[in-house]
Amino acid sequence: MSGVKLTNVRKSFGGHDVIRDVSLEVPKGDFGVFVGPSGCGKSTLLRMIAGLEETSGGKIEIGGRNVTAVEPAQRGVAMVFQSYALYPHLSVAENMGFSLRLSRAPRAEREEKVREAARILQLTDHLDKKPSALSGGQRQRVAIGRAIVREPDVFLFDEPLSNLDAELRVQMRLELTRLHRQIGATMIYVTHDQVEAMTLADDIFVLKGGHVMQSGRPLSLYDDPDNRFVAGFIGSPAMNFVDAVVSDSDDSGFTARAEEGELRVALQGPKPGAGTQLVLGVRPEHLEPLETGGLPVKVEVAEELGGNSYVHSRSASGKDIVFERRGNRESLEGRDLQLSAPADKVFAFTPEGERLR
Amino acid sequence: MAMIHNRSRHRLTAYSLILPFVAIFALVFGYPVIEVIRMSFTDAPLIGEGEWVGWDNYKRLFSDRLFYTSVINNGYFVLLTVVPTTVIALMISLAVNRLSGRMQALALVFFFTPYVLPVSVVTQIWAWMLDFQFGILQPVLEFFTGKPVPVFKNPFWVMPAVALVTIWWTNGFNVLLFIAGLRNIPEELYEAAKLDGATRRQLFFRVTWPLLWPVTALVLTLQLILQLKIFDQVYLLSEGGPFNSSYVLLLMVYREAFQLNNGGYAAAVSLVLFLLIVVISVLQFQLLRVGGKDK
């Protein structure tokens, strides 16, 4: 088993660049997730690793072997498609054993491997059925089983859960994590759902417009985003952003005026001078209603989830500001509040979206 | 009560909706069929009533050498057209399917154009092309046989030549059916198979062919029915000759009914042909379905 390494990989379709200079590495045995909005190139990048799309430039290595120009079947990868791509005319067992059938592996070996994969995925009772007789979740498992039987170095998943309903998605997410622990192979997973990315990944690669915006452990991306895009994309509900002007700075950070209120921002690096235009970002769970100071808002609605609630409020300029409350049952609807956050939980970005540290 | 009332009204609506079709169908299909069956037991001329003769027409038919010649020629023609046209259409559609958008449309237009032509134009084109003296295809024949061949006047060449014309004429439609079938196969199945290590050959025989089988069975059955009904091309190109070597059942019906004025006898021949087509096509379709299920 081996890791996947991309070096300066590019892809263009008829003069239009889809992937621009991507370099990244998914270490051996890790679970890497490509996440980003639709059209960011994440699926294309996965298909390039699989060999289903040609690479316009750069190098793709799997287990230290340069596979940029190698046929898909010789790359040691298996892929699970969003649509499952099961052969409708073959039974579950035949679908899973298809690759061994093609390579004319002995029948006994084929049956043994299919049985083992079916056991892992709890499909033993369905081996003789046709895919059309299975539920969505079962089809998904067959598709994964087909990948397992091939014993690949790298598993590739292209939005495998997006055709399932919400409950099943959560369940399959857990099963995938368990499967990864059990098999220990390198896995690369593409999704547009940042919750899936956060829960599954060892390493997240946030893509936008064919670039890797930031990569790292899920929590480090959450706690320490490099730019406004990653800050807004990772986390649900999303981070609140307000335009601000620096009013005063000192050794530990600066104070900025925003939305007819004031926020204190901790900053280690060079401090912006007074009058600098910035964008401040605060996650919902870090905002707290105070008596004085902070941003003045008017509460509109609250989403009560039982343990916690997300309160939607409107700022002076009409922006939707969301903050989280825990264990507090008292209704805030229609009230005017002041919201503030600890200085080290407020992120500052340039108007172009770069983070100030 | 309301339920029952509703149901009877429901039924009334249903009947009133299918009635126009049933009436027209009975008039233009049901009635003629019954008349043909009745006529086949009489010695009626083409127009007018005849005497009831019982099974005489059928007895005469089964001792008529021309009838057996026609059945054999029909069978030979089916052999020459049905499977070849299906195979050719499949190969053309596989090739066309690899072209991209605009080129694919253009290629389809080329292959479909002959199908648009009326049969008289088609036979005229080929009569010219294969003309004994001036035909531009004669040098090709000469290359293979050493001398020019009057194809429609030669017992050996006439059926293959008519078959060739027929395939050229009708192939475009089969290509369209296959293209539609191929487009129904999701691209991801091929991608998955490629990742599984399938060669081009395996892609075709393990993915394309089994998934295209229903379309293939349909094309084979439609072709069988169509080619058993061969008449126009033979009538226009060779008139059944030479020496009855291209005489087919429908030509026999035509001769007996419209040239020899034997309405009763022609009715018997056409009924036999009708039964032949029904039995063979039902049999074939069932066989193909069973064959498809095993795959």
Q: What is the pLDDT of residues B117-147, one digit of tens each?
A: 999 999 999 998 888 888 888 888 888 887 8
Count of A-B CB contacts under 8 Å: 55
What CATH code would you report for A4-233? 3.40.50.300
pLDDT, position A105: 86
Q: CB distance B195–A88 less than 8 Å?
A: no
Mutate to test the interface with B, among A53, A54, A75, A102 (most CBs of B within 10 A): A102
Whether the per-residue pLDDT at B177 is higher than 90: the answer is yes
SS (H, E, C) chain B: CHHHHHHHHHHHHHHHHHHHHHHHHHHHHHHHHHHHHHHCCECCCCCCCCCECCCHHHHHHCCCHHHHHHHHHHHHHHHHHHHHHHHHHHHHHHHHHHCCHHHHHHHHHHHHHHHHCCHHHHHHHHHHHCCCCCCCCHHHHHHHHCCCCCHHHCCCCHHHHHHHHHHHHHHHHHHHHHHHHHHCCCHHHHHHHHHCCCCHHHHHHHHHHHHHHHHHHHHHHHHHHHHHCCCHHHHHHCCCCCCCCCCCHHHHHHHHHHHCCCHHHHHHHHHHHHHHHHHHHHHHHHHHHHHHHHC
**Cβ-based contacts of B295 with chain A (< 8 Å):** 89
The predicted model scores a pTM of: 0.79
Whether the per-residue pLDDT at A322 is higher than 90: the answer is yes
Mean confidence (pLDDT) of chain A: 89
The DSSP 8-state label assigned to residue A273 in this structure reads P
Domain ranges within chain A, ordered by starting residue: 4-233, 240-356
pLDDT, position A203: 92
pLDDT, position B292: 55
pLDDT, position B28: 94
- Quick one: average pLDDT of B60-79? 89
- Quick one: average pLDDT of B253-276? 88
Q: CB distance A77–B195 less than 8 Å?
A: yes
End-to-end CA distance of chain B: 53
Whether the per-residue pLDDT at A340 is higher than 60: the answer is yes
Domain ranges within chain B, ordered by starting residue: 64-294
Please identify which residue in the block is written with the tokens 């087909």: A146
SS (H, E, C) A188-245: EEEECCHHHHHHHCCEEEEEECCEEEEEECHHHHHHCCCEHHHHHHCCCCCCEEEEEE
ipTM: 0.81
Whether the per-residue pLDDT at A306 is higher than 50: the answer is yes
Which residue among A52, A73, A88 places its CB closest to the CB of B196? A73
Q: Would you list which residues of chain B are within 8 Å, Cβ to Cβ, of chain A?
A: 186, 188-189, 191-199, 202, 206-207, 210-211, 295
Residue A154: which pLDDT band, with cuts at 50, 70 and 90? very high
- Quick one: average pLDDT of A264-279? 87
pLDDT, position A313: 92
Angle formed by the axes of helices B65-98 and B209-228, nearest 10°: 150
Q: What is the pLDDT of residues A201-210, one digit of tens each?
A: 999 999 998 8
pLDDT, position B294: 46
- Quick one: average pLDDT of A213-226? 92
Tokens of B100: 């991209």
Q: What is the pLDDT of residues A158-182, one digit of tens each?
A: 988 888 888 888 888 888 898 898 8
Q: CB distance B198–A83 less than 8 Å?
A: no
CA nearest to B198 within chain A:
A102
pLDDT, position B291: 60
Whether the per-residue pLDDT at B88 is higher than 90: the answer is yes
Q: What is the pLDDT of residues A100-124, one digit of tens each?
A: 888 888 899 899 999 988 988 888 8
Buried b (16+ CB within 10 A) or exposed e, B221-240: bbbbbbbbebebbbbbbbeb
Closest among B187, B182, B199 to A99, alpha carbons compared? B199
Tokens of A331: 């209704």
- Quick one: average pLDDT of B239-249? 83
Most confident of A247-261, A306-320, B84-98: B84-98
Tokens of A117: 């994969």
pLDDT, position B8: 83
What CATH code would you report for A240-356? 2.40.50.140
Q: CB distance A73–B198 less than 8 Å?
A: yes
Distance separating alpha carbons of residues B85 and A216, to the nearest angstrom: 60
- CB within 8 Å of B51: residues ≥ 6 apart: B42, B43
The DSSP 8-state label assigned to residue A294 in this structure reads B
In terms of CATH, what superfamily is B64-294? MetI-like (1.10.3720.10)
Radius of gyration, alpha carbons of chain B: 24
- CA distances A294 to A248, A300, A322, A336, B69, Å, are 15, 18, 14, 12, 103
Q: Would you list which residues of chain A are within 8 Å, Cβ to Cβ, of chain B?
A: 50-52, 71-73, 77-79, 81, 83, 85, 87-89, 98-99, 101-103, 146, 150
Which residue among B186, B197, B207 places its CB closest to the CB of A73? B197
Residue B47: which pLDDT band, with cuts at 50, 70 and 90? confident
End-to-end CA distance of chain A: 38
Residue A1: which pLDDT band, with cuts at 50, 70 and 90? very low
Whether the per-residue pLDDT at A73 is higher than 90: the answer is no
A168 vs chain B: nearest CA distance in angstroms? Answer: 23
Lowest-pLDDT choice from B4-8, B43-47, B269-273: B4-8
Q: CB distance A102–B197 less than 8 Å?
A: yes
Sign of CA dihedral B158, B159, B165, B169: positive
pLDDT, position B295: 42
Whether the per-residue pLDDT at A82 is higher than 80: the answer is yes
Residue B16: which pLDDT band, with cuts at 50, 70 and 90? very high
**Cβ-based contacts of B207 with chain A (< 8 Å):** 87
Percent pLDDT > 70 in chain B is 96
Residue B293: which pLDDT band, with cuts at 50, 70 and 90? low
Whether the per-residue pLDDT at A250 is higher than 70: the answer is yes
- Quick one: average pLDDT of B40-53? 83
- Quick one: average pLDDT of B46-56? 81
Could you tell me if A314 and A266 are in contact, meaning their C-beta atoms sit under 8 angstroms apart?
no
- Quick one: average pLDDT of A73-95? 90
